[in-house]
Structure 1
């Protein structure tokens, strides 16, 4: 898969025995350069640094196996993850929403986010296609936009559906964890109801009632969506 900032490729690493499948991410020099001058090359170098620090802190993120530069572009070689994302990139909502599954995902993903936050970082790109599930364990991917919890002089990042109105309407971020926690609430709501949360509390309440969502889970989701 290729985009202006770079590409993502599956490859066979022949430098080890036995050979292994890996994922190669490319960050292009001057690719999708933002207003602050950050391009694909810089984002990928930033992501590799964060992944190494998060792995050291015990967070469930892919291992960076190698980094190199070629033709002016940056590349990182990542372990190829087993399993599949919570939602494939082309699927917007779960095929069979269930509050039971939503509750399990909420608990597991909250625990993984807590590890990221304890290490001092905010992911800023929390969404189902970036969460891999394999044998009951979650792994988080895509940390190009991650930042330190206290950083404020940064452009908005992430997908609009998983960002609060406040995050979408401000030119720079506020310090804290709200980007990740709000996105966690959206994911839990999706897997409970099969829909994105609307702005009106009454419309959300009708969806909760239709699915038989217990009050305890509803309260947790609503607290997250209030971020």
Structure 2
């Protein structure tokens, strides 16, 4: 077994992506399980520099929210060609990813709305600190006995950061990218809200709002046609369907804020979510189809209600 900095003993690889791999590890100093994300050394077109990753880890470490997997530590290991490969130590969230859960089909609408309410509450906390996640998707949402946890804030980006990726490279998961991200616009909270709309659509229907078999077809379909409207779902409140459509709007200004979405979705299932006292740094957008919210409601902070059985399915 490999040990980083004489402290984090890597035990089992639990995830791998284009820029990193994630390990279940043991923190020998505090005697606790953790997750360690080790960045892949110097791949062409990818900025995995120590300073950039450290800066993003510092931003993510400021997020303290029950629906966010905490960032505990940052370090480097000498396994790359230049001897400086950064890694981030995070909370190990025990549970099943939403991606794994959705393999069995769409969720009961109550569960789908509750999950997305908690995801949106996590995004509201990030947006209040000027942080954009950029990769909201089922694989980065985990369902734990204590509630939803949103993962991968360790490589999020500050609001307004320009897209510096090479021409032709898309940062993020194509199905969940907002139209402006395809045009390489700077990262904003509205991009996360587009991804939330896709996530909510997928949870409710078991499919994406675009018909395509490959990433190339998907990107082509995205540019040629609007997303498919939600089908009729028995019992689904109309304000939830409106919210989903508003999140998928081409115009970022038409999308709701994460705070508004969290409160509306929670109200739809009579749940309570933990929302930040600080208002998001981006201007809050309100759609005519959304219920008005009082300032008192927008500032309310409550504990999470008891969780439903995540195994509940549609029908």
- 1:217 pairs, out of 240, 245, 257, with 240
Query: After the TM superposition, which of the residue ranges 103-112 and 142-151 deviates more from structure 2?
Result: 142-151
The corresponding residue for 1:134 is: 144
- What is the aligned partner in structure 2 of residue 12 from structure 1? 26
TM-score by length of 2: 0.59
Shift of the 4–177 alpha-carbon distance from structure 1 to 2, 3 Å rule, reads closer
Correspondence for 1:208: 231
Q: Secondary structure at the match of 2:125?
A: helix
Give the drift of 1:6: 3.7
Question: Could you give the per-residue CA deviations for residues 13-70 of structure 1, whole angstroms, max 9, x where no partner exists?
Answer: 2223xx322212112441x242xx6126455424422221223xx4743333333222
Pair 184,74 (structure 1): closer, same or farther in 2 beyond 3 Å: same
Equivalence map 1:64-213=2 (5 Å): 64-71=71-78, 72=83, 73-88=85-100, 95-135=105-145, 137-143=147-153, 145-155=155-165, 156-168=170-182, 170=183, 172-174=184-186, 176-198=188-210, 204-205=228-229, 207-209=230-232, 213=236
Report the count of equivalent residues. Answer: 214
Q: Hey, what does 2:68 align to over in structure 1?
A: 61
Q: Is the 8 A contact 2:60 2:154 kept in 1?
A: no
Distance across 2 between alignment mates of 1:48 and 1:148: 11
Q: Choose between structure 1 and 2: higher helix proportion.
A: 1
Taking structure 1 as the reference length, the TM-score comes to 0.79
Instruction: Give the match's secondary structure for 2:69.
Output: coil
Over residues 127-183 of structure 1, what are the superposed CA-to-partner deviations in whole Å (9 max), with x where a residue is unaligned?
Answer: 111112223522221135422222235445210010134422x1x223532210000
CA 1:59–1:147 in structure 2 vs 1: closer, same or farther (change >3 Å)? farther
SS state of the match for residue 172, structure 2?
coil
The residue matched to 2:62 in structure 1 has which SS? Answer: helix
Following TM superposition, where does structure 1 have runs of at least 4 consecutive aligned residues deviating by more than 6 angstroms? none
The gaps in structure 1 that reach 5 residues or longer are none
Unaligned runs of 5+ in 2: 1-12, 211-221, 253-315
